[in-house]
Chains A and B, each alone.
Chain A
Amino acid sequence: MIPSTFDYTAPSSLDEALKLLHDLGDDAKVLAGGHSLIPMMKLRFAEPEHLIDLNNIPGLSYLKIEGGMLKIGAMTREVETEESAEVAVHFPIFADVAKLIADPQVRNFGTLGGNLAHGDAANDQPAVMLALDASVEIAGLDGRRTVGIDDFFYGFYSTAVQEGEILTEILIPIPSGRSGNAYHKVERKVGDYATGGVAVHLEMDEQGICTKAGIGLTNVNPTPLRAVRSEAALVGTSLDDAAIASAAQYASEDCNPSTDLRGDIDYKRHIIRAVTKKMINKAKQLAFKN
């Protein structure tokens, strides 16, 4: 549980951090909350020669609603979205998901930006971002660009954040009408990665017809997975039992889980079907309340 030798720098501005990252290249890793990176370093699965700590850089941690968007600074701690009343108005899903991420110590320091940039399909926030149709702002020495969440996850530990770049902000559109969203994962014990997790976001019109559906799946695919057929099965329906059953069935068919200690493929598909159904029903009930 002792990492290899590394150098450590804690710049005080984003520009400084980007310059360092540019100069050091491949040998450097950015340190945000550290709750994925440091355990990997302690096991020597990751042996970066330099760590660039973002924690001293002001202006990277915030929650604000601006221009129809919820904007989340990349260094915002998980606990802040969990406890924010402003966020809870439209996105009770953040309270759902945060409670299931590791333990309070991790949530007190782990960041949303780090959670996404780590590029691990076992993390919970990626599925939530898929459901909410988020986009991500990425900064480099050449300026900033915005990437839709569907174009963000490339593969195992690999995202749209390229060499020399730092993820700076997450943007989530605020739903205009009735909406509801929810997340649940089956886990072997508290703090575990998901056996299977499902994030659902629904919007509906005044007649109760589903106008928009977002469904993201956790840890049942090499990358975080959008359940495209499931979403389509809901839009335009009154979210009746038959539509929900189809959506749940599609999610279980379209995911690509692998066998591990958490269970075999059949079991994980079963879990995805059961949890998708539960979460659609929960999101639907919340939407009707709005």
Chain B
Amino acid sequence: MIQCKTSKEISGMGHSMKRKEDDRFIHGKGNYTDDVKLPGTLYMDIVRSPYAYAKIKNIDSSEALKIPGVLAVITGKDLEQYNLHWMPTLMSDTQMVLPVDTVMYQAQEVAAVIATEKYIARDAREAVRVEYEVMKPVVDPFKALDADAPILRTDKPDKKDNHIWHWEVGQKEETEKIFQEAEVTVKEQMHIPRIHVASIETCGCVASYDKVDNHLTMYMTTQAPHAIRTVFALVAGHVGLTEEKIRVISPDIGGGFGGKVPVYPGYVIAIAASFLIGKPVKWIEDRSENLQADSFARDYHITAELAGTKDGKILATRMKVLADHGYTDASANPSKFPTGMFSIGTGSYDYPNAFMEADAVYTNKPPGGVAYRCSFRVTEAVHAIERITDRFALEIGKDPAALRFQNFIKKEQFPYHSPTGWEYDSGDYEAGLKLAMKGIDYDNLRIEQAEKRKKGELMGIGLSTFTEIVGAGPSKDFDILGIKMFDSAEIRVHPTGKAIARFGTKSQGQGHETTYAQIIAEELGIPAKDIQIEEGDTDTAPYGLGTYASRSTPTAGAAAVMAARKLRDKAKKIAAYLLEVSEDDLEWEPGKFSVKGAPEKSKTIQEIVFASYTNHPQGMEAGFEATHYYDPPNLTFPSGAYICVVDIDSDTFEIKVRRFVAIDDAGHIINPMIAQGQVHGGLTQGIAPAMYEELIYDDDGNILNGTLMDYLVPTAVESPSWETGHTVTPSPHHPIGAKGIGESPTVGAPPAIANAIVDALKPYGITHLDIPITPYKIFKALKEKGVLDKNIVES
């Protein structure tokens, strides 16, 4: 049970307070970017390439410009005059805003149409004639490094191949030796498929440039408004748009999931158009554009290996990654971590040694990849380790739960130093798995499974006991484009005891307006309902790096605590002054200072705040405001134990997730209801890549499923009734012991499902299937094994 220190009236930590933001969403009063309506707005639509790799021979805009209401058709050559045709990615690679001569992926922006109405803009888009010379694209990342592969980035004069970078970590020689000598080694080749966040709201913006004031207001769907303002200033500073002239406003966001961290070309083109024409320019992607052109996630090809003993002791893991980044590395990782936090790949297990390496390549696909509800490549790492752990259990004939208990990092080993260099803050992995096994009645499920197998029925049980790594991050290691990954909070309490607090983060559905208020309520005793939370306006909020990678609670949440504690220190001084006692004689309970031994002598926080404006001690600064920029001392390491049961129809191979128990440990929970909602959503986004979603390209680089008709986003119908629970192992270094919850379920669920399906197919000798695992894929695997006709069809 979660213990609450505050009353329901105050609703600090642990209260399942209803979300403050829901009133406006339920009433249809959310204010999204497309709701921003400025007088004189023009509309932009984008001409996109039908080819994956082609030279642009000619762009003929004449017919489009004849359509009444069309003001301009902007091409790469137009932008080139202002040196705005290329921009940096967050990984310090470069990306075209609009191409001057070559398109690098299907659906890439080729030209932009500006018109007085969006309908006219779409008609004009169809009327722009582009002449291409089609070239043979590089689609398969494994062939990208072949000697005869065309070199894609000819814009980089010194580039002699399609290799982007190499990365490695761990004990190469020791690991090699262990693998040579180990009793048991297992190996699987895995692909973590290219997927898309497919948020309900697509990306878009309204760029509004005021020629007189030389000032740009940019309304846009961004998870990181401050960082984006800096990027804009870096891109456009040379044409006069310096940082103080730019205001980025991120209104309500209909889902981000990492897909709204990057700067997309459309934003920059809209700014250029508004800058040139002097009117607001609105650009809102449609669904297909969003799916086909915006940053993908994942797309890691991983060779995972494990060495151990016959009785189940894990000795070493080795992982080799080929990362397909598309035509530019547009990841949203911290600068020093090209593979993000992939090195968390030793997971929850006590590995003496590990070695991991990765190579990234360019292909003719959209650039990326973003951290889709995943703290920088953790999903990929967790999938590899959880799959290969099960593969090892299968090899030695040991129950996968028993194998995990045998190899877990023990509670008393924390802080734990992993062989890849991380210091895990805290964890109790045994407690989580025990709770999950009890919740799902694991032992009886195995008995049921044995009986079903005798009858030829396909039932599988899958585990995933993962460790997350979130809250980036400490300034000594973590930056994006050089900006350290701190985050911020500013609290202003008004004379009447009500407050406004502003943050450098930006909610996209996480419920910050409620949870941040609860954190401040916990620390100051001001009721959460009296605290208004504001984010997303760079003119008013303090600078921060934004919301992604489950970092808001670990960073900005901690900043709120620290700022509130500064205020509580001030409150204590004022209380001592008002009560005419020494500070040492005061004791605090939420919302009130009282004199030790004389509880009737007290001052409420509201009285104290009022005094700070009306009767503050001489020599003290008036008012009741504090700001804090929080630089976390370490990352936080949430964990989870998930168990999933699947039933597979032995005729059609339709897969049903019968039960799914998810036990999460995110340290102290701020709002259990919101945390549970996060888990439900995250688990659903976990079954998505496990069973449904993958962006598929043919040999010519054409996307084969660029609409939601074929890109299969699961719905409530596909989702089982999630069974959730938690253990609480506080982070020792976070001021309220919180760790972050948003991404754990998306990270942890896919291997649990994959493990369950592979477990169901164990009688047929199947050791691995790549996600998404579909009935069709099962059919193909069984057919390949030659078991279809004799064992299944005829039975």
B204 shortest CB reach to chain A, Å: 13
A13-21, A157-165, A173-181, A265-273: which lies at the B interface?
A265-273
Interface residues of B in 600-651 (CB under 8 A from A): 651
Interface presence of B183 (CB below 8 A): no
Question: Is the CB–CB distance between B651 and A277 below 8 Å?
Answer: yes
Nearest chain A residue, comparing its CB with the CB of B713: A189
A189 proximity list for chain B (CB < 8 A): 692, 712-715, 717-718
In the assembled complex, B654 has its CB within 8 A of some CB on chain A: yes
Q: Is B422 interfacial (CB-CB < 8 Å)? A: no
Chain B CB within 8 A of A274 CB:
yes
Within 8 A of B (CB), among A155-199: 186, 188-193, 195
Q: Is the CB of A190 within 8 A of B715?
A: yes
Complex Cα distance A191/B692, Å?
A: 13
Nearest residue (CB) in B for A5 is B123
Cβ B288 vs Cβ A1 within 8 A = yes
A5, A188, A271, A275: which has the most chain B beta carbons within 10 Å?
A188
Residues 1-24 of A contacting B (Cβ, < 8 Å): 1-2, 4-5
**Chain B residues, CB < 8 A from A4:** 123
- Which residues does chain B contribute within 8 Å of A188, judged by CB atoms? 692, 712, 774
Choice from A44, A191, A262 contacting B776 with Cβ under 8 Å = A262
Q: Is the CB of A274 within 8 A of B652?
A: yes
Residue of chain A at shortest CB distance from B650 = A274
Alpha-carbon gap, A109 to B119, bound state (A): 26
Contact check, B715 vs A261: say whether CB atoms are below 8 A apart. Answer: no
Structural contact, A190 and B717, CB atoms closer than 8 A: yes
Expressed in whole angstroms, the Cα–Cα distance for A193 and B775 within the complex equals 15
Q: How far is the CA of A188 from the CA of B694 in the complex (A)?
A: 13
CA of A186 to CA of B286 in the docked complex: distance in angstroms?
29
- Distance (Å) between the CB of B403 and the closest chain A CB? 33
Q: At the interface, yes or no: B783 with Cβ under 8 Å from chain A?
A: yes
List, in ascending order, chain B residues with CB within 8 A of A262's CB.
Answer: 776
Q: Which residues of A contact B276 (CB under 8 A)?
A: none
- On whether A271 and B287 interact (CB within 8 A), knowing A44-B126, A189-B712, the answer reads no
List B contacts of A5 (CB < 8 A). 123
The interface bits of chain A over 232-247 (1 if a CB of B lies within 8 angstroms of the residue's CB, else 0) are 0000000000000000
Question: In the complex, are the beta carbons of B779 and A278 less than 8 A apart?
Answer: no
A3 shortest CB reach to chain B, Å: 9
Q: Which residue of A lies closest to B779 (CB)?
A: A267
C-alpha spacing A186/B705, complex, angstroms: 19
Contact for B710 among A44, A261, A267, A274, CB less than 8 A:
A261
Is there an interface contact between B783 and A1, defined as CB atoms closer than 8 Å?
no
Q: Is A263 an interface residue (CB 8 A)?
A: yes
Cβ contact within 8 Å between A186 and B715: no
Q: Is B200 an interface residue (CB 8 A)?
A: no
Known: A270-B793, A274-B651. A263 touches B119 (CB 8 A): no
Interface core residue of B286, B651, B714, B780 (most chain A CB under 10 Å)? B651
A263 to chain B, nearest CB (A): 4
Instruction: Indicate which residue in B119, B651, B652, B717 contacts A2 across the interface (CB closer than 8 Å).
Output: B119
Digitize B279-322: 1 where CB-to-A-CB distance is under 8 Å, 0 elsewhere.
00000001110000000000000000000000000000000000
Q: Interface size (B, Cβ < 8 Å)?
A: 31
**A263 in complex: contacting residue of B705, B713, B776, CB < 8 Å:** B776
Map CB proximity to A onto B650-681 as digits: 1 under 8 Å, 0 otherwise.
01101000000000000000000000000000
Q: Could you tell me the distance in whole angstroms from the C-beta of B79 to the nearest C-beta in chain A? A: 25
In the bound complex, do residue A1 and residue B286 qualify as a contact, i.e. CB atoms below 8 Å apart? yes
- Chain B window 757-795, contacts with chain A (Cβ cutoff 8 Å), 1 for yes, 0 for no: 000000000000000001110011001000010000100
Residues of chain B within 8 A (CB-CB) of A273 are: 793
Tell me which residues across on chain B come within 8 A of A264, comparing CB atoms: 776
CB-CB < 8 A to A270: which residues of B?
779, 788, 793
Find chain A residues with CB under 8 A from B788 CB: 270
| Closest partner residue, chain A, to B774 (CB atom) | A188
Whether the Cβ atoms of A2 and B118 lie closer than 8 Å is yes
- Complex CA gap A262/B654 in Å reads 13
Bound together, the chains give a CA A10 to CA B777 distance in angstroms of 48
Check B72 for interface membership: any CB of A closer than 8 A.
Answer: no
Given A190-B715, A190-B718, CB of A266 within 8 Å of CB of B783: yes
B interface footprint on A245-268 (CB within 8 Å = 1, 0 otherwise): 000000000000000011110110
B712, A186: Cβ atoms closer than 8 Å: no
In the bound complex, residues from chain B placing their C-beta under 8 Å from that of A261 are: 696, 704-705, 710
For chain A, the count of residues having a C-beta within 8 Å of the partner chain is 26
Q: Chain B contacts of A275 at CB under 8 A?
A: 652
Min CB distance, A121 to chain B, in Å? Answer: 16
List A residues 125-182 near B (Cβ within 8 Å): none
Smallest Cβ-Cβ distance to B780: which chain A residue: A267
| Beta-carbon contact of B651 and A278 below 8 Å | yes
Closest to B649 in A: A274
Within the assembled complex, what's the spacing in Å between the Cα atoms of A275 and B779?
15
Chain A residues contacting B288 (CB-CB under 8 Å) are 1
Interface residues as binary, B680-719 with A (CB distance below 8 Å gives 1, 0 otherwise): 0000000000001000100000001100011011110110
Taking a contact as CB atoms under 8 Å apart, the answer to whether A186 and B783 are in contact is no
Report chain A residues within 8 Å CB of B123: 4-5
Assembled-state Cα–Cα distance A64/B123 (Å):
46
B122 beta carbon closer than 8 Å to chain A: yes
Q: Which residues of A contact B652 (CB under 8 A)?
A: 186, 271, 274-275
Query: Which A266-290 residues have a C-beta within 8 angstroms of B?
Result: 266-267, 270-271, 273-275, 277-278
**Minimal Cβ-Cβ distance residue in B for A277:** B651
If A5-B123, A261-B705 touch, whether A186 touches B775 (CB-CB below 8 Å) is yes
Q: Identify which of residues 103-134 in chain B touch chain A, using a CB-to-CB cut-off of 8 Å.
A: 118-119, 122-123, 126
Collect the chain A residues with CB atoms within 8 Å of residue B793's CB.
270, 273
Q: Which residue of B lies closest to A4 (CB)?
A: B123
Cα(A277)–Cα(B652), bound, Å: 11
CB distance from B622 to the nearest CB of A (A): 55
Question: Which chain B residue shows the least CB distance to A263?
Answer: B776
Task: Report how far A261 CA is from B774 CA in the complex, Å.
Answer: 11
Q: How many Å lie between the Cα of A264 and that of B776 in the bound state?
A: 8
Q: Considering the complex, which residues of chain B in the window 26-52 have a beta carbon less than 8 Å from any beta carbon of chain A?
A: none
Q: How far is the CB of A106 from chain B (nearest CB, A)?
A: 13
B68 CB, min distance to chain A CBs, angstroms: 12
- Complex Cα spacing A178 to B69, Å: 66
**Chain B residues whose CB sits within 8 angstroms of the CB of A191 once the complex forms:** 715
Complex Cα distance, B776 from A195, in Å, reads 10
Q: B254-296: contact bitstring with A at CB < 8 Å (1 yes, 0 no)? A: 0000000000000000000000000000000011100000000
Chain B 582-594, CB-CB to A under 8 Å as 1, else 0, gives 0000000000000
Most chain B CB inside 10 Å of its own CB: which residue of A186, A262, A275, A277: A186
Closest residue of A by beta carbon distance from B714: A189
Bound CA–CA A275/B286 (angstroms):
37
State the Cβ distance, B50 to closest chain A Cβ, in Å.
14
Max count, chain A CB within 10 A of own CB: residue among B654, B714, B718? B654
A193: which B residues are within 8 A, CB to CB? Answer: 709
> With a CB–CB cut-off of 8 A, which chain B residues contact A186?
652, 654, 775
Task: A188 to B715: give the CA distance in the assembly, Å.
Answer: 12
Which interface residue of B712, B783, B788, B793 has the most chain A CB atoms within 10 A? B712
A4 CA to B779 CA, complexed, in Å? 42
- Tell me the A residues contacting B by CB distance below 8 Å: 1-2, 4-5, 44, 186, 188-193, 195, 261-264, 266-267, 270-271, 273-275, 277-278
- If A190-B717, A262-B776, A270-B793 are given as contacts, then 20 extra A-B residue pairs at C-beta distance below 8 Å, sorted by A number, are A1-B287, A44-B126, A188-B774, A189-B692, A189-B713, A189-B714, A189-B715, A189-B717, A190-B715, A190-B718, A192-B709, A195-B776, A261-B696, A261-B705, A261-B710, A263-B776, A264-B776, A267-B776, A275-B652, A277-B651
Binding site for A on B (CB under 8 A): 118-119, 122-123, 126, 286-288, 651-652, 654, 692, 696, 704-705, 709-710, 712-715, 717-718, 774-776, 779-780, 783, 788, 793
- A-B residue pairs in contact (CB < 8 Å), sample of 9: A186-B775, A188-B712, A188-B774, A261-B696, A261-B704, A261-B705, A267-B776, A267-B779, A278-B651
Query: Considering the complex of A and B, which 4 residue pairs feature the smallest CB-CB distances, nearest first?
Result: A274-B651, A190-B717, A2-B122, A1-B286
